[in-house]
Amino acid sequence: MKEISTKHPGGVALLAEPILNKGTAFSVEEREKYGLLGLLPPHVETLPEQTDRAYEALKAKDTDLERHIYLRALQDTNEVLFYNLVISHVAEMMPLIYTPVVGEACEKFSEIYRRPRGLFISYPQRDEIDRILDNAMNETVKAIVVTDGERILGLGDQGTGGMGIPIGKLALYTAAGGVDPSVTLPIILDVGTNNEERLKDPLYIGWREKRISGDDYFEFVDRFVQAVKRKWPNVLLQFEDFAQAHAEPLLAKYRDELCTYNDDIQGTAAVAAGTLLAACKMLGKPLSAHHIAFLGAGSAGAGIAEQLIRIMKDEGLTDAEARERIYMVDRYGLLHSEMDGLMAFQERLVQDHASVASWSSSSDGSVSLLDVVKNGMPGILIGVSGQHGLFSEQVVREMAKNTERPIIFPLSNPTSKAEAVPADILEWTDGKALIGTGSPFAPVTYKGQVHHIAQSNNTYIFPGVGLGVLASEATRVTDNMFMASSQALADLSPALKDPAAPLLPPVSDIRAVSRAVAFAVARQAVADKVAPDRSDEELERCIDAAVWTPVYNKLT
């Protein structure tokens, strides 16, 4: 049995340490040794007994937000019990600790705030970042998720409330990926908020100023990154929910400086690509044979598009041929070569204006999504707009006219932001669409057939990426590692064996999925020479050794 050394004198101090606290599972001997006599009821429980009791308490809550609050309180009290509960009922728990409920939790973060977790680094404390990092409760940190709260899911600027995202992401690093929670650290960079509702809220606990911008913003983030490199030079740093104006530049600047990635760009791309590859394999038609329309041309959409272009090139297309098959549509219509004000990453994804000008049905010359579907005849439609209902009946029915089995992915989170709901998509396509969503949806019965909806959520990718990076001791996260994760996910598709099955494995299998992704990522890290040279067998052993399981360990 693994032993955990504790510097705490015991008693109340020990009960206050979530990673060490066993609650009613402390043995009689431990209660006597660590000064716990009288602080706990006399019956000594097992972890399964505690888990059953916690599950019953959870079910007694009236709303999902109350269940989220209960789970967060349990996490802050007894992490082993929390993770054992989550893993024991993972399909039921994942929506409660992450999407979609985490969106509401971020909006109400100040109202439901109970106890500190992670680090809050605010702009007025920019000269104290090294000291702040020294205050981390973790002695060893191997994985950090950081956000500035500006683009939380599809909900926009939540300021300090965005801290719910790093907390939720790292909970899934552990629950889904098996990463030891004692080496993870959530961080919020509080640079203010432009959300007037937050600024006027008397309960808002963040820095009550407008967001900093420009050089001041990038200098502050750089101070943070350099401090992290000094404190934990080998850490995995994941950027999360940064606005598109910042996400791409930050990734480009730091990806060769330390082991870092942006899950909104690379993780979203990997899971979407993996799900699409599964659909293509099921249909017996390679990705490169499709035209693909995107609704949403921000960093997430562009990240998916670039990964799909790499896959098409691997399948034999030239770069130009692959890009001709990608249609990026934003609020002003299809991106084309005559548009002004495009960001650098968008300019790489424009269509030649001369080839699409005749598609427009609008007086202002813009090319709408419906125009694209009618003229470009895409077989794949991906929504990353953050806007509810934009996959209209007319758009979907038009797509179904030109494609026998349309692949339609409304990926925006949370559920309230989905571009369309699966029941409508199936109705409008006579049950023929292959569907992937960002948030969980219940199975849909259409004309007597049950359709299981694949949740093409980043949770299928990032926990495995984290485990693979840490187990392989990778020093960088490469594009090839994300490509490997996509292929690993596609290979696990139940639909490859049963066309009536969903495109992705059930969430209940998420730990097995994460392990397969971790191995693919670790293997690619070795191939890319960003990790120590190890055989496949050695990598398997490293992954097994890195996986944390919620059990109570002996204290010394």
- The active-site residue, picked from 22, 34, 83, 169, is 169
Phi-psi region of 359 (alpha: psi -120 to 50; beta: other; left: phi over 0): alpha
Distance from C-alpha of 451 to C-alpha of 431, rounded to nearest angstrom: 8
Name 362's Cβ contacts closer than 8 Å, sequence gap at least 6: 333, 368, 371
Q: Residue 385 carries which DSSP code? A: S
Distance from C-alpha of 515 to C-alpha of 354, rounded to nearest angstrom: 48
DSSP H helix total and E strand total for the chain: 25, 16
The number of beta carbons lying within 10 Å of the beta carbon of residue 445 is 12
Residue 240's alpha-carbon distances to 167, 229, 256, 319, 475, in angstroms, are 11, 18, 18, 29, 19
The number of beta carbons lying within 10 Å of the beta carbon of residue 128 is 14
Distance from C-alpha of 264 to C-alpha of 62, rounded to nearest angstrom: 32
Catalytic (active site) residue 98: yes
Tokens encoding 319: 């770069």
Tokens encoding 80: 């082993």
- The active-site residue, picked from 34, 83, 98, 217, is 98
- Report the catalytic residues: 98, 169
